[in-house]
Amino acid sequence: MDRNKPVLKTAVPQEWIEQLETLAKQTGCSVSELLRDAIAQYLGIWEQPSSQTLDQLRTELNTFKVSISQLHEKVNDISSKSHLLTTLNLRLTALEGTIAKNAFPPDNASTSSQLLDDDECDEPDEILTDFLPR
């Protein structure tokens, strides 16, 4: 702060202070510099930035625009892949359900196959004569 210059004090809403502090962080200027520039611009004595500074700002702005465009593309790409992942997950769940149903047949199916098997119905004391010579 320049000690030779008078200090101007005023009351402003807290919201303005928060916005000024945010803007100061974004621009790399102090809140005092922002206020001096705003008052100077209002009074018509504000110095326009040099053409070199404007060119630098335009270059930075274009760089930011390209970065934002790339970010939008990546977000859209991720969104579409997210939809695919959700679809694949649903299909996998359905496939697992189908496999689980077919892996273990119902109890009545295994019982009916046992009833059709003649070897299981044979009595233990039954004598099988088919293989004896005649």
Average pLDDT over all residues of the chain: 80
Instruction: Confirm whether 73 is domain-assigned.
Output: yes
Q: Which structural domain range is residue 73 located in?
A: 53-118
8 belongs to a structural domain = yes
State whether 42 and 92 are in the same domain.
no
Asked if 60 and 53 count as a contact pair (C-beta separation under 8 A), the reply is: no
| Angstrom distance (rounded) from CA 68 to CA 72 | 6
**What is the CATH classification number for the domain harbouring 13?**
1.10.1220
Whether the CB-CB separation of 31 and 20 falls below 8 Å is answered with yes
Task: Give domain status of residue 128, yes or no.
Answer: no
Position 12 confidence tier, pLDDT thresholds 50, 70, 90: very high
Check whether residue 42 and residue 57 sit in a common domain: no
Tell me: do 74 and 100 sit in the same domain: yes
CA distance linking residue 16 with residue 24, whole number of Å: 12
pLDDT at 79: 83
For residue range 28-56, list pLDDT tens digits in order.
888 998 898 889 888 988 776 666 677 78
Contacts of 94 (CB under 8 A, 6+ apart): none
Q: In the chain, what percentage of residues exceed pLDDT 90?
A: 28
**Same structural domain, 23 and 39:** yes
- What pLDDT sits at residue 90? 92
In a domain, 78, yes or no: yes
**Number of domains present in the structure of the chain:** 2
The lowest-confidence range among 46-50, 71-75, 113-117 is: 113-117
Asked whether residue 68 is assigned to any structural domain, the reply reads: yes
Confirm whether pTM is higher than 0.75: no
Q: Are 24 and 30 in contact (CB under 8 A)?
A: yes
Domain match, 40 and 63 both: no
96 part of a folded domain: yes
- Helix residue ranges per DSSP H, the chain: 14-27, 31-43, 51-103, 107-116, 118-121
* Spatial CB neighbours of 73, under 8 Å, sequence gap ≥ 6: none
Counting every residue written for the chain, the total comes to: 134
- 84-93 residue pLDDT tens: 888 889 999 9
